[in-house]
Chains A and B, each alone.
Chain A
Amino acid sequence: MSTISIIFTALFYISLFIFIVGMGRKIYQFSVTPAPLKIPTAPTPLTQTGVVFRMIREVTLFESLFRSNKWIWFFGFLFHFGLLLILVRHLRYFIPGDLPEVFMLIQPFKYAAFAMVIGLVGLLARRIFVPRIRYISAPSDYLMLIMLLIIGVSGVVMTFTSNHTDVIMVKDFASGLVTFNWSNMPTELHFIIHLLLVFVLLAIFPISKLLHVPGVFFSPTRNQVDNARKKRHISPWALKQEQEHSVKLEQTLGKDT
């Protein structure tokens, strides 16, 4: 194996490890942090089923964003939906051996790359040209978009221009990562950049605003059922406090009843 292939193979596992451990820790943190009060935001579902549908609409259609701002919704939706299709299509590289028939159907998903790139360009343009959004942007906010753009564009270059990468080699390399049957990777510059930035993305996922992906599922304003009057909702720390009657206000304001 070439040196660069060894390095990238190692980087793959390192970044994947950081991603899995980091996200695991973060998701654990989100899930063990109690939500002591009922704070769902209108329009609020009154049943658990309603909440499930609300969450599905939120993560598939970006319902709240649609209500809020049609341009951000449009570009954001193009980007995310494009990315989703592309990720699904990338499975063909990681699944070892011959692909099931169904993969013929997702072959056209490659055009989703354009949706993704257009979405990202739109979002970046808004960040640069809309003064309100420029005001709230840190360097990392631009870099994140630029990084995703480079990933997208380098992918487009590989797929749609004459600078084709050796797909068989990519497949061997990628599926080898899954089966621990490592092999050489193509060494075209755009492929290296593509790969490297994907690794960076994986590694920074748990320490950046990309945490919005697990975050939305834990958002109390979106995932709580509006049934406060019907069912007593109390967090462990508040229950403990209640049972111990040990509020520090006791000295000045009298004991609990």
Chain B
Amino acid sequence: MAAKEFDIPKLPTYVEIPELNPGIMEGEGPFKSSDEFQSPLGFPGEKVDNWQEVAIAKMGELKSKYRSVQVFLDSCVKCGACTDKCHYFLGSSDPKNMPVARQDLFRSVYRRHFTFAGKYFPKLVGAKDLDDQMLDDWYNYFHQCSQCRRCSVFCPYGIDTAEISMAAREVLDSVGLGQKYCNQILGKALTIGNNLGLPEPALKDTLLDLEEEVEEDFGAPVKYPLDVKGSEILLITPSADFFAEPHIDGLIGYGKVFYQDGVSWTMSSYASEGANFGMFIGSYDVMRKAALRIRKAALDLEVSRVMVGECGHAWRVAYSFWNTLSGVGAGAQSSDEHAMKLQNQLDHRYPQPQHIIEYTHDLIQRGKLNFDKSENDDRTVTFHDSCNVARATNMGGIEGGQFILPREVIKSVCNNYIDMERSTIKESTFCCGGGGGLLTDDLMEIRVKGAMPRMQALKQVEENNGVNTLAAICAICKSQFTKVLPKFDFDPYMIVSVHQLVSAAIILDKPQTETEDAIAAESVETE
């Protein structure tokens, strides 16, 4: 099924609401996880015999643990406001990719098993049994949702399909139907420390190579420290930043900003992953387990600040969930020993955790960075708001800061900046098509189709304004665009990290004295 042929959508002048093509995206869904990847996460290795019973029990548990699930299942009036808001529906025309129809796969079973009307009048209220066909539909269509939450913005009750799709995936995992891509990666992240499975020695070598390369290219001894105890900042970044293009150019950029600021910073080999796929599979426990690694690294390395690199859902987990999951944040009650242990160590003059964009933006505001903007004069840049950053987080502590700060950083380092059409950016941004655990080759068809609305908006600014660079602050967006841009006849190299643009324009003229401080901090190295 990975090699399935499909038509790449044409880019229209305007995105039109497609005619319904029921069943066009029907299929077996992504590769299923084997026992090898299931059992480490505490899930059954294969479909359990009494799966129906287990699934219904799990649904009952989830709706009693999550108000979102309970309220969202009860409140939908089928008004249809969300029906044209999902990029996967717009790109694929399968009606089960309309947010409400996707939710209804779950809701119809909820009604059948948990509501009076559904138990006694199933036909009347559209209640359905959880049979094999329904389970297959769940597996297939809940893996055609990137949990981008665009539908939630437009719903009069704020119903968030992401919450439903997370719940459905958790139920699927509980009956032994896990997704290979996510669960395999989680195994690596939870044992080795990052999604790539890069062990400490390999990571160390990679970073040393990078330091050499950067010094050669830019003539400054920029460091990429690993496991340096006593550093001020612990940087948690998606592991894609360590090797993939264009991600690594972003990492180079972070290093140059840190260098110019003269601050001591480090990465951790134990917590060398910003991404947290526990969110994608909807498991609080797994997500928490991954978040606790960051807590441990922060405690062990005795840092006073925790910072997050360019990664969309990582920033959602960090900004919105870390404080809850692992205490990385502020404002815990003094009786809360678990959280206070860490929060007493952190420096609360800074937001905890802080996004690298907030950090760079702050330095720019304070005049600590100088740029030669002409270095980016060959570029006309537009910014892709990554869904998790745009709809689930904030930056800078001002309303809409998550939209303002990245744009201000880009405009500080580039002369030519243009926004895409208003209805496709900021809180209404279209997902890249690869988020939510869909960034795997066996889901290429839905990834390409789901990218269509974003590609259309990009085409518009390319034709009208000569845009040749698409900047993003999400590792998944960057990887996804690298793959799908050429399918729509764009240059795959037009996708860049925001800190790649910063890196190109930053003037490294740091006075020598401060470097010594940084080196002094590094000498307190531990294994």
Contact = CB atoms under 8 A, between A and B. Distances in A.
Interface of A: 26, 29-30, 33-46, 50, 58, 62, 64-65, 67-69, 72, 76, 123, 126-127, 130-133, 135-141, 143, 204, 207-209, 211-212, 215-216, 218-222, 226-235, 237-238, 241-243, 247-249, 252-253, 256-257
Q: Which of A135, A136, A139 is most buried by chain B, counting CB atoms within 10 A of its CB?
A: A136
Given A43-B399, A140-B126, A212-B77, A226 B394 contact: yes
A253 B40 CA distance: 7
Contact of B323 (A131, A204, A208, A229): A229
B109 interface: no
A72 B331 contact: no
B394 A238 contact: no
A135 B66 CA distance: 28
A34 B61 CA distance: 12
A72 B79 contact: yes
B320 A228 contact: yes
17 contacts: A34-B67, A39-B160, A41-B160, A42-B392, A64-B156, A136-B83, A137-B78, A138-B78, A209-B76, A218-B67, A221-B149, A222-B157, A222-B158, A230-B331, A243-B338, A248-B285, A253-B289
Contacts of B104: 136
A242 B338 contact: yes
Given A34-B67, A41-B153, A46-B394, A209 B78 contact: yes
Given A33-B63, A219-B75, A232-B327, 19 more contacts: A33-B66, A33-B70, A41-B149, A64-B155, A132-B17, A132-B20, A136-B95, A138-B126, A139-B125, A209-B75, A216-B157, A221-B68, A222-B158, A228-B321, A229-B319, A231-B330, A241-B285, A253-B190, A257-B296
Nearest to B76: A209
Interface of B: 17, 19-20, 22, 39-42, 63-68, 70-72, 74-85, 95, 98, 100-101, 104, 115-117, 121, 123-126, 149, 152-160, 163, 190-191, 284-286, 288-289, 292, 295-296, 299, 319-321, 323-324, 327, 329-333, 336, 338-339, 351-353, 390-392, 394, 397-400, 402, 426-427
Contacts of B319: 228-229
A135 B101 contact: yes
B200 to A, nearest CB: 17
Interface of B is mostly: helix
A216 B75 contact: yes
Contact of B156 (A36, A62, A139, A207): A62
A107 to B, nearest CB: 31
Contacts of A64: 81, 153-156, 158
B65 A36 contact: yes
Given A232-B332, A232-B333, A249-B289, A39 B155 contact: no
Given A130-B80, A136-B98, A232 B427 contact: no
Contacts of B65: 33-34, 36, 235, 237
B361 to A, nearest CB: 16
A87 B104 CA distance: 32
A139 B289 contact: no
Given A218-B71, A232-B339, A252 B158 contact: no
A133 B289 contact: no
Contact of B80 (A132, A218, A222, A226): A132
Given A64-B155, A136-B100, A35 B66 contact: yes
A72 B81 contact: yes
B320 A38 contact: yes
Nearest to A67: B154
Contacts of B64: 33
A257 B299 contact: yes
Nearest to A58: B156
A221 B154 CA distance: 11
A208 B299 CA distance: 50
A211 B285 CA distance: 31
B419 to A, nearest CB: 16
A233 B71 CA distance: 19
Given A132-B20, A219-B159, A242-B338, A39 B68 contact: yes
A133 B157 CA distance: 17
